[in-house]
Amino acid sequence: MSFDLYFAGIQSMEADQALMDRGSCRLYSQLNDRSRGKLWLQHVKEHPGTKVFVDSGAFSAWSKGKEIDVDEYINYLNTNTNELTLFASVDNIPGELTRTPTLKEKQQSPILSWENYMYMRERVIDKDKLLPVFHIGEDFKHLQNMLNVILDGKHIPYIALGGTVGLERNIKDTWYRQCFKVIKQSNNPNVKVHAFGMTSLNILEGYPFTSADSTSWIMTTANGNIYTKFGTVCVSNVSSNKPNHILKFSQDTQRQIKEGVEKYGVTLEQCMEDYKARAVVNVNYIQDWADNYQYKGNDRYQKRLF
């Protein structure tokens, strides 16, 4: 069973080429990454079936004290709707970067986000591609509304869960468990669910998500590391003092890592010297995981909900 893992963030062209070669899913921000998005939109035309997800860039705009032109965003989506698989509604993020939001702002935020979703839904061509987002910290009544509302004679087919970036794993785990409990008890138990900014493959195997996106492959690459069956291993020549550096492993383990790298068309020596080679390895390793995804779940979810 495969999993739709959308690679997010911008890195080298070599990395994007590796993603294209593997038929990977791609997420980009319409606010900051339209130039790279143009490359992927053309790729979809040449390779139908490639999945591309457009994020609104709401958090980036909020962090810069700017607002997104929702109507311009809608026009962009409609212009490219045939090439796009999914796109996110514009979230309202409470408060400002320099201050903590007030209780009133926190309570109002999911209401404003829902109003944005409804405004966009009335105007986008492909309504089922538009995902509303439920954020950690919001009252679960807003998730229940997403699940139970009837629009155009049917339930919303796809929603997203977000706001967990940077939080400890146990906090994420507890929240996802509650979210899927609400989903299962709703009138829309078969809804598809996307996890925004989810880097834990173990969590993705433990809950019945349909898709997720992550930038962890970029940071792993930049830090001189590659993914291996032995965990994340540092291979950069300039970081040989790290406890997880490949030179700290046995000769047999080093040999196996070397063989694992070479199957992706690069050498271990290249990975030690060049972040672009490490990016190729990391892209392929995670795509292998997605292609061979296994939902493990637990007693609460004995089978996938969709």
Indicate the pLDDT class of residue 298, thresholds 50, 70 and 90. Answer: low
Q: What confidence tens digit (pLDDT) does each residue in 229-286 have?
A: 999 999 999 999 999 999 999 999 999 999 999 999 999 999 999 999 999 999 999 9
Q: Which residues partner with 121 through β-bridges?
A: none
Q: What confidence tens digit (pLDDT) does each residue in 52-75 have?
A: 999 998 888 888 888 899 999 999
Q: What confidence tens digit (pLDDT) does each residue in 71-124 have?
A: 999 999 999 999 999 999 999 888 777 778 888 988 999 999 999 999 999 999
Above 80 in pLDDT, residue 147? yes
* Single pTM value for the model: 0.92
Query: Distance between CA atoms of 67 and 85, rounded to whole angstroms?
Result: 25
Q: For 218, list phi and psi in degrees, rounded to 5.
A: -70, -45
Beta strands in 115-223 (DSSP E): 130-131, 133-135, 158-162, 192-195, 211-214
Report DSSP state, residue 102.
Answer: P
Above 70 in pLDDT, residue 300? no
Higher model confidence: residue 35 or residue 303? 35
DSSP character string of 211-253: EEEE-HHHHHHHTTEEEETTEEEE--GGGTTSTTBGGGS-HHH
Above 70 in pLDDT, residue 11? yes
**What pLDDT, on a 0 to 100 scale, did the predictor assign at position 306?**
28
Section 194-212 average pLDDT: 93
Count CA atoms within 13 Å of residue 238 on its CB side: 6
**What pLDDT, on a 0 to 100 scale, did the predictor assign at position 184?**
96
Count CA atoms within 13 Å of residue 270 on its CB side: 12
